[in-house]
């Protein structure tokens, strides 16, 4: 079956899964020549196999709210591929979670994890549970109930979940505790645990820091530096605020962050005091808007951050947050680099537009791989029962991000996509990630 026929099959079989179809098409658009270069890929139906998850676990989660009412949510784990390591990927708690969203995230995770060079397969999971407005006790009861069901399907060498939207250190620690309680085993079954009882240093910071390290490499490839670059960031969660922190440390000027209510614009740029305040404010789920009374700047209710002059844009909130109109604004306002901290934040029309306008574009599966990379380092630290220092792990994260950058750049060039002045990171990342997994499937024969 040709790649085009695989897409046709997916579209016919899953017409109600637009996010999943979008993610498959994006990968398919790049891998044609690499696919044709090895006849075994077609013979063993490698792409067709990779577009159908190994399995999807789907379950009900019953929990009790603070008023004693029974609440019911849906839970999933999409175990997409364990070709090159145990299933690995985050858990998302958000009302928009659906099978389509988790399949797109799990599919992307296969190639992202391959790009890290570490032994990790691809998975994603989560629930339509909405953490907003819930008390700490409700969050704890939900996490316990969720993992009480999921625990039978995960394990340190089988499937290792972590955080994503709505799931951070607190939630992972609750789930880890319940897993330990149920199995009587202390093992590295989840990553992103609290530091001090199994969590790795720098895991919390890793996705945002890693995305900025990737950006630093892109800018260096154009013989320029981060110093003085104006940066627009969307989101105000884990990825956004750590991207803002590292960009600021490296001398860039971060002008915006945002959330589902609107955008905060500070023409003076963020500094560490402001970032610490933002972290605290979000941890307490208080409004971003209150920043203006304390530090000045402007609050733009209901607006996105793409309307200001800048050099760099880092969408770090959620999928499809940047459409073609937003892409036009970014180009109009002089943005030369777009680095996806979020997964699939640009829709297909936006990607086409920025690439046509020669904006240097780093797809999430390459640029945000620092988080899962440090998760991989947490797994290895748990296995050998030793911890590494912050400095050691930060250096490893930098090295991994540089390797992903360089491997994506060379895969692009080798396959005829772009040159030194315009590196096609999207094609390069898709090809490099795909080949690693596809070669494993070929070696295995007809098994997964
Ligand atoms: P958080 O829950 O910490 O933060 C999410 C942020 O995005 C919040 O500011 C939230 O605003 C905003 N947001 C979420 N959904 C929407 C929406 N539908 N519309 C507008 N704003 C929205 O999540 P993370 O920072 O962990 O994740 C952000 C992105 O990064 C996701 O795409 C995730 O998949 C990706 N990612 C995360 C990794 C990690 O290690 N955590 C690793 C790699 C990628 P509000 O608070 O108002 O809802
Ligand atoms: O999208 C992602 O890469 C994550 N949410 C992190 C996954 C992980 O296992 O650390």
**What is the location of CATH 3.40.50.720 in the chain?**
205-358
- Structure confidence at residue 448 (pLDDT): 83
**What is the location of CATH 3.40.50.10860 in the chain?**
53-183
The protein residue with its alpha carbon nearest to ligand 1, atom 28, reads 317
The protein residue with its alpha carbon nearest to ligand 1, atom 48, reads 260
- Structure confidence at residue 418 (pLDDT): 85
- Structure confidence at residue 366 (pLDDT): 98
Q: Of 109, 172, 203, 239, which is best to mutate to test ligand 1, by the most ligand atoms within 8 angstroms of its C-beta?
A: 239
CATH class belonging to 53-183: alpha beta
User: Taking a C-beta distance cutoff of 8 angstroms, is the pair 382, 399 a contact?
Assistant: no
Ligand 1 center to residue 252 CA distance, Å? 22
Model confidence pLDDT, tens digit, residues 191-211: 999 999 999 999 999 999 999
| Angle value at C-alpha 409, between 405 and 414, nearest 5 degrees | 150
- Structure confidence at residue 211 (pLDDT): 99
Between strands 262-265 and 122-127, the pairing is: unpaired
Cα separation, 386 vs 383, in Å, equals 8
Ligand 1 center to residue 404 CA distance, Å? 23
- Structure confidence at residue 258 (pLDDT): 98
Q: Of 109, 261, 317, 365, which is best to mutate to test ligand 1, by the most ligand atoms within 8 angstroms of its C-beta?
A: 317
Model confidence pLDDT, tens digit, residues 268-311: 999 999 999 999 999 999 999 999 999 999 999 999 999 999 99
Ligand 1 center to residue 218 CA distance, Å? 24
- The pTM (predicted TM-score) of the whole model is 0.98
- Within the chain, which residues score under 50 in pLDDT? none
Give DSSP secondary structure letters for 299-362: EEET--S-SS--SEEEE-S-TT-B-HHHHHHHHHTT--EEE-SSSS-B-HHHHHHHHHTT-EEE
* Whether residue 342 has its Cβ less than 6 Å from ligand 1: yes
Give DSSP secondary structure letters for 166-220: TB-HHHHHHHHHHHHHHH------SSSPPBTTTBPTTHHHHHHHHHHHHHHHHHH
CATH architecture for the domain at 205-358: 3-Layer(aba) Sandwich (3.40)
Q: How many CA atoms lie within 13 A of 245 on its CB side?
A: 21
């Amino acid at each position: 079956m040709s790649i085009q026929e695989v897409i046709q099959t997916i579209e016919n079989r899953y017409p109600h899964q637009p996010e999943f179809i979008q993610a498959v098409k994006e990968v398919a658009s790049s891998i044609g020549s690499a696919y044709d270069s090895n006849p075994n890929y077609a013979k063993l139906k490698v792409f067709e196999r990779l577009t159908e998850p190994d399995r999807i676990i789907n379950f009900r989660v019953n929990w009790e709210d603070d008023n004693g009412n029974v609440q019911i949510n849906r839970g999933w784990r999409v175990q997409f591929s364990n070709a090159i390591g145990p299933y690995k990927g985050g858990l998302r708690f958000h009302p928009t979670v659906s099978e389509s969203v988790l399949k797109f995230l799990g599919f992307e995770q296969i190639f992202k994890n391959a790009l890290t060079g570490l032994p990790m397969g691809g998975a994603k999971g989560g629930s339509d549970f909405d953490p907003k407005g819930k008390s700490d006790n409700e969050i704890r009861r939900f996490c316990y109930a969720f993992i009480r069901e999921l625990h039978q399907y995960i394990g340190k060498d089988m499937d290792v979940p972590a955080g994503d939207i709505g799931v951070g250190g607190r939630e992972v620690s609750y789930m880890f505790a319940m897993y330990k309680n149920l199995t009587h085993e202390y093992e590295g079954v989840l990553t992103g645990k609290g530091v001090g009882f199994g969590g790795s240093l720098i895991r919390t910071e890793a996705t945002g820091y890693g995305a900025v390290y990737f950006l630093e490499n892109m800018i260096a490839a154009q013989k320029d530096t981060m110093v003085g670059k104006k940066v627009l960031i969307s989101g105000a969660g884990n990825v956004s605020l750590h991207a803002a922190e590292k960009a600021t440390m490296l001398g860039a000027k971060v002008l915006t962050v945002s959330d589902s209510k609107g955008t905060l614009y500070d023409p003076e740029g963020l500094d560490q005091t402001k970032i610490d305040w933002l972290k605290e404010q979000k941890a307490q789920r208080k409004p971003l808007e209150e920043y203006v009374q304390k530090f000045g700047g402007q609050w733009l209710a209901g607006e996105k951050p793409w309307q200001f002059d800048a050099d760099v844009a880092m969408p770090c909130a959620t999928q499809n947050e940047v459409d073609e109109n937003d892409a036009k604004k970014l180009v109009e306002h002089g943005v030369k680099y777009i680095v996806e901290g979020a997964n699939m934040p640009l829709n297909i029309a936006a990607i086409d537009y920025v690439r046509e306008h020669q904006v240097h574009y780093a797809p999430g599966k390459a640029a945000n791989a620092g988080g899962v990379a440090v998760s991989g380092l947490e797994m290895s630290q748990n296995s050998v029962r030793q911890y590494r220092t912050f400095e050691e792990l930060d250096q490893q994260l930098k090295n991994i991000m540089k390797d992903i950058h360089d491997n994506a750049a060379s895969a692009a060039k080798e396959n005829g996509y772009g040159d030194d002045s315009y590196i096609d990171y999207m094609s390069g990342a898709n090809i490099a990630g795909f080949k690693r997994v596809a070669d494993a499937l070929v070696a295995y024969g007809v098994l997964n």
